[in-house]
Structure 1
Amino acid sequence: MTAPAVILIDPQLGENIGMCARAMLNCGLTDLRLVRPRDGWPNQKAQDASAGAQDVVDHAQVFQTTEEAVADLTRIYATTGRTRELLEYVLTPRAAAEDMRTATASGLHRTGVLFGGERSGLTNDDVAKADAIIRVPLNPDFRSLNLAQAVLLIGYEWFTAGDQTPSETRDIRDARPATQNEVEIFIERLGRGLDEGSFFRSVEMRPTVMRNIRLMFQRTQLTDQDVRTLHGITESLRRAGPERK
């Protein structure tokens, strides 16, 4: 799937362009287009600030007008936090990301996102070239993103819209999940130890308490190493015998 182009219009500092390149590559974006970069191009400060994303900087295209920068694109999005005197189709970054992926999935569209300069953002003429506006829902009393933050936010939503990473994982390194049999063997051993220690105040309460203990251990998603450790703890307590006062 073709990733959207990132078009920076009137960017000022080379450092900001480099940080945008860094944000882009984190999200799998590589098509960087610059319109009238103030400090000229190529720019060593952009290279230095890219923190390993030099390839994005090296292949950046430079244009004199926004029209030239978007000439090959079929669907354009403009990022702005200001309300304009224009008829606007406004999307959140998440909705825009889904829209981009739907558009490019057909193979008929190439997309791009316009970002304005650090000082004043996009002009109305630039916004008028867009098919939709992306507006980030932020604190209404303080909506202030720097250029790289804005690029990262849009890029992240685009990337995660197609990412299949599970929402929750557990790093168990060299261990493996404990089998039901391994857990059951430990719980039976624990139950015998509790019997020997007169833990249960009555025979009748034992099934309910053991059921709760079993559920407690099942909720922890034990690994095989966890079970071995629990066996070791149980054996150590058994050897220690009754608590001495």
Structure 2
Amino acid sequence: MAGTDRTAAIMAGGPAIVLVEPQLGENIGMVARAMANFGLSDLRIVNPRDGWPNEKAVAAASRADHVIEAARVFDRVEDAIADLSFVLATTARPRYSTKAVRGPDEANADLRVRMEAGQGCGILFGRERFGLSNEEVDLADEIVTFPVNPAFASLNIAQAVLLMSYEWMRSGTPFGGRPRFFAPDMAPADKSDLFRLFEHLEGALEGTGYFFPPEKRDTMIHNLRNMLTRAQFSEPEIRALRGVIRALTRAGQTQ
């Protein structure tokens, strides 16, 4: 569509867009173009199949060079979101997770408030063929799903990013769905702090025989991580919890 004003300042910022194991460079480029259309600029790519940088991505980005050139590549989802404190996972499939599920308008209104309060936020998008795994959804705080035709709920990555990017920009306009009065009492901790809590607690429980029988270990870990993520602990709260775990571990060793 024509109508681009070449003299206008480039809008930048917004939540991080995290693509998990994208297959095609063209899709990454179209994601960058969608982000640029609506003022997003933080693109993070986890383990792209065809490597990075990618000439096909540059071509498909249609001059969204500032997004492509600033894109960062990570080996793991955990690394890509470690500096964020609030993360959404996009999915078209019902999950057995107990996380809150929002539509794109409500989710972006909440993101806007959180980011204006200084929180780092991001949105996970899954693979072209099967989206995000349950384990990856476990790393997020909430789920976003789109109000699509249930008989044909197939969106490609660029379409999904476009929808979320559009709602992000719309949330910044007057009466765009933002709550009038809301401010989190305590900012959630970065995901890196939460991941260390996971490792600390699971390591402590491992030595107690908690994960029994062995075939239920993955399900038990899934449930624990869901509970801990849903709480949205602050960094001081996580430090306090890790202190509790250390104290209990020492007490168990002296008995």
Structure 1 length-normalised TM:
0.65
Moved over 3 A (4+): none
Tell me what 2:143 maps to. Answer: 133
Percent of residue pairs bearing the same amino acid type: 51
Helix, strand or coil at the partner of 2:82: coil
Helix, strand or coil at the partner of 2:18: strand
Q: How far apart in 1 are the matches of 2:151 and 2:140?
A: 27
Q: Is the 8 A contact 1:79 1:115 kept in 2?
A: yes
Q: How far apart in 2 are the matches of 1:85 and 1:129?
A: 14
The CA deviation at 1:88 is 2.1
Q: How far apart in 1 are the matches of 2:99 and 2:171?
A: 24
5+ residue gaps, structure 1, are 167-245
Q: How far apart in 2 are the matches of 1:60 and 1:163?
A: 27
Q: Is the 8 A contact 1:2 1:110 kept in 2?
A: no
Matched, 1:16 2:30: no
RMSD (Å), alpha carbons = 1.6
- Aligned mate of 2:99, from 79, 88, 93: 88
Give matches, 1:167-186, under 5 Å.
Answer: none
Q: How far apart in 2 are the matches of 1:164 and 1:82?
A: 32
- Aligned mate of 2:48, from 29, 37, 45: 37
Matched, 1:26 2:37: yes
The CA deviation at 1:117 is 0.9
Q: How far apart in 1 are the matches of 2:175 and 2:36?
A: 18
Q: Kindly provide the amino acid, as one letter, of the partner of residue 92 in structure 1.
A: G
Q: How far apart in 2 are the matches of 1:61 and 1:31?
A: 8
Q: Kindly provide the amino acid, as one letter, of the partner of residue 77 in structure 2.
A: T
Give matches, 1:95-244, under 5 Å.
Answer: 95-107=106-118, 109-164=119-174
Q: Is the 8 A contact 2:13 2:40 kept in 1?
A: no
Q: Kindly provide the amino acid, as one letter, of the partner of residue 151 in structure 1.
A: V
The CA deviation at 1:165 is 10
Matched, 1:66 2:66: no
The CA deviation at 1:163 is 2.6
Helix, strand or coil at the partner of 1:28: coil
Indicate the structure (1 or 2) with the bigger Cα radius of gyration: 1
Q: Kindly provide the amino acid, as one letter, of the partner of residue 133 in structure 1.
A: I
Q: Is the 8 A contact 1:3 1:29 kept in 2?
A: yes
The CA deviation at 1:148 is 0.3
Q: How far apart in 2 are the matches of 1:165 and 1:27?
A: 18
Helix, strand or coil at the partner of 1:114: strand
Q: Kindly provide the amino acid, as one letter, of the partner of residue 25 in structure 1.
A: A
Structure 2 length-normalised TM:
0.63
Q: How far apart in 1 are the matches of 2:175 and 2:96?
A: 41
The CA deviation at 1:85 is 1.8
Helix, strand or coil at the partner of 1:149: helix
